[in-house]
Structure 1
Amino acid sequence: VVDLTIQSSMFWWIGVYAVFLWCYNGFLESLLGIIWGSLKNLLQRERFPERYGKWAVVTGSSDGIGRQYAEQLARKGMNIMLVSRTEHKLIAVAAEIERKYGVQTKWLAVDFSKGPEIYKPLREQLASIEVGMLVNNVGHLPPPSQTFEENSDQDINSVIRLNVVATTMMTRIVLPGMLRRRKGIIINVSSSSGYHPVPGMAIYAASKVYTTSFGLGLAHELRGTGVECQTVTPFLVSTSMSQEFTKNLSPLTAVLDVKRYVKAAVCTIGKTAYTCGHWMNTVQLFYINIISPSLAAYIIGITLKQRRPELLKKK
């Protein structure tokens, strides 16, 4: 009887430990980082320039999440280098940031869908500034609801070059300087699409699996160097890239305002290597973890299939 009691107790504690690990890896790590970041932000102002370096480089920064990262980091005293494709948008955003926050700005118009030749001028420009932060945000989303067979060669090429190659090469360019100075942070903006297969967005979701895995692996490699890496995995955020997909969704589907989302995500910088960015996204992650990846993929596949005529009409 005593042996059975000991065995039962042992299995109970093993079960408790397993549940704790599932909760922590599934959503608690992100939630605790958000709570800690919010509390610390209320109690004291984070001094990003002193902690990381004077300049933040943000890719895909003329719209959406990238632009909001640029604005929120400028509010915290960071000088901003904007890197995106459209020159007139970059000029307008740079002027607005300087006017509103009184920081220095630079900009560089780069089409990341082009070949490796684009990285030489980037390397030269970035060598002249102390890059304390890199926000790898640039990305490409093919028309949702298209199967892989229906994706154009141009879309496939753009996903690989913007979502995979750009993140990798930009990190490779700035990391040596950060390591020499023993400070800095790389922020990889991934996606919740990397948690499970997404029928109708297969290549996009696969590219985000790479971004997430690359960021988390790099964070471990950089331990003890003074340089950090954070992976951010947004769920549905209202941006120009996702606007067609997020229209007419169920009211139960939480689509966050981009400014609100990034403001919360910036509070987690330096607090955790992985975050959903916002507590509402953490709740969504909890639901994803309750059901299996295959069931999540099935539900999303059905949803996209139902909306396919509407989405293709707007293409």
Structure 2
Amino acid sequence: VTGCTDGIGKALAFELASKGLNLVLVSRNPQKLKSTSDEIRGKFGEKTQIKIIALDFEKVSGEDIEGQIRREIEGLDVGVLINNAGSPGRRLRCLHEHGGEDIDSILNVNIGGVCWVTKAVLPGMLRRKKGAIVNIGSASTTFLHSFPFNSLYAATKAYVTAFSRSLNVEYKEHGIDIQCQGPSFVATSMLSNIIDWQRFFVCWPKEYSKASVKWIGYESLCIPTVGHAAQAFLASLLSERVLDFLSFHVLLMLRNKMLLQEKSTKTT
């Protein structure tokens, strides 16, 4: 599980451990990795074997990511990979407001990380002729036509969707299921400061993780939770023009709220 120390990734690690799976946890922060590992062992006991890999997709080249993952998992039977690590960059920004480091962060983590980690685990799955890969995408591409003020993030998630669907066709005959899951808003640290909507629009990481694990091995593109699936259905009833109008104004509202919070923080 990549990006496993917060939010969806952490909840997925706990959910997989509850099913009796051993874990390889990948994240950039060694302290958070150890803390997450200790929490899981504290809940499920020493029977859950956990290996931690500290790896920063922002700063390490693709071939180095692949090489380190392969070395660390050598001899392990990695049956399930969950590519959850993602970078929003500076959220709710227009393209011209992003700095170079911000752009590199979004591209390296959301595209490079997914590609190179997947490439690292595939040889073992091919040898065993079984495996499942879950790439966490986004509603920004699964049922919305546009995602204003998040153009780079949405574009990388469109890559994840196309990448997953094509790979699933390539590797299905080898016993490997590859899936993209497209959640809408989940109450993570990434969003908690700017989203306080009604319960219908947002699900909690634990709720998402339970639904997510149940969907592994089914459709190549899915929206696991009932609330998010309902949103997708409602979106399908609207024209592209209306949906773009709503996306723009809802995200503009969130952007203005975020900018106001940032301004307030600077003045205090």
Offset at 1:145? Answer: 2.6
> Amino acid of the residue matched to residue 259 of structure 2?
L
Q: CA RMSD in A?
A: 1.6
Structure-2 residue corresponding to 1:222: 171
Offset at 1:112? Answer: 0.8
The Cα offsets for residues 189-241 of structure 1, whole Å up to 9 and x where unpaired, read as 00001132211111111111110111111111112211111111001110111
Structure-2 residue corresponding to 1:202: 151
> Amino acid of the residue matched to residue 90 of structure 1?
L
Structure-2 residue corresponding to 1:13: none
**Residue 90 (1) aligns with residue 33 (2):** yes
> Amino acid of the residue matched to residue 38 of structure 2?
A
Higher normalized contact order (CA 8 Å, seq sep 6+, divided by chain length)? 1
* Count of aligned residue pairs for this structure pair: 256
CA contact (8 A) 2:34 2:52 kept: yes
> Amino acid of the residue matched to residue 12 of structure 2?
Y
Structure-1 residue corresponding to 2:211: 264
Structure-2 residue corresponding to 1:242: 191
* Higher share in helix: 1
Secondary structure in structure 2 of the residue aligned to 1:108? strand
Structure-2 residue corresponding to 1:290: 237
> Amino acid of the residue matched to residue 215 of structure 1?
S
158 and 239 in structure 1: CA distance in 2 versus 1, 3 angstrom threshold: same
Secondary structure in structure 1 of the residue aligned to 2:179? strand
Offset at 1:252? Answer: 7.0
CA contact (8 A) 2:65 2:116 kept: no
Offset at 1:155? Answer: 1.5
Identity within the alignment, %: 34
Q: Which runs of 5+ in 1 are unaligned?
A: 1-57
Alpha-carbon distance in 2 for matches of 1:84, 1:143? 20
**Residue 66 (1) aligns with residue 13 (2):** no
The Cα offsets for residues 44-103 of structure 1, whole Å up to 9 and x where unpaired, read as xxxxxxxxxxxxxx0000011011111111111110011001111110111121232231
Secondary structure in structure 2 of the residue aligned to 1:141? coil
Structure-2 residue corresponding to 1:310: 257
Structure-1 residue corresponding to 2:266: none
Alpha-carbon distance in 2 for matches of 1:199, 1:287? 19
Alpha-carbon distance in 2 for matches of 1:180, 1:292? 46
Secondary structure in structure 1 of the residue aligned to 2:169? helix
Secondary structure in structure 2 of the residue aligned to 1:231? strand
Q: TM-score, normalised by structure 1?
A: 0.77
Q: Please identify runs of 4+ aligned residues in structure 1 that moved more than 6 A.
A: none
CA contact (8 A) 1:144 1:304 kept: no
68 and 307 in structure 1: CA distance in 2 versus 1, 3 angstrom threshold: closer
Q: Which runs of 5+ in 2 are unaligned?
A: 263-268
**Residue 124 (1) aligns with residue 71 (2):** yes
Structure-1 residue corresponding to 2:48: 103
CA contact (8 A) 1:197 1:294 kept: no
Offset at 1:150? Answer: 0.5
Secondary structure in structure 2 of the residue aligned to 1:144? coil
CA contact (8 A) 2:65 2:113 kept: no
294 and 124 in structure 1: CA distance in 2 versus 1, 3 angstrom threshold: farther
Spell out the pairing of 1:148-227 with structure 2 (5 A cutoff).
Answer: 148-195=95-142, 196-227=145-176
Q: TM-score, normalised by structure 2?
A: 0.90
Query: Which of 73, 81, 84 lines up with 1:137 in the alignment?
Result: 84
Alpha-carbon distance in 2 for matches of 1:290, 1:252? 21
Secondary structure in structure 2 of the residue aligned to 1:277? coil
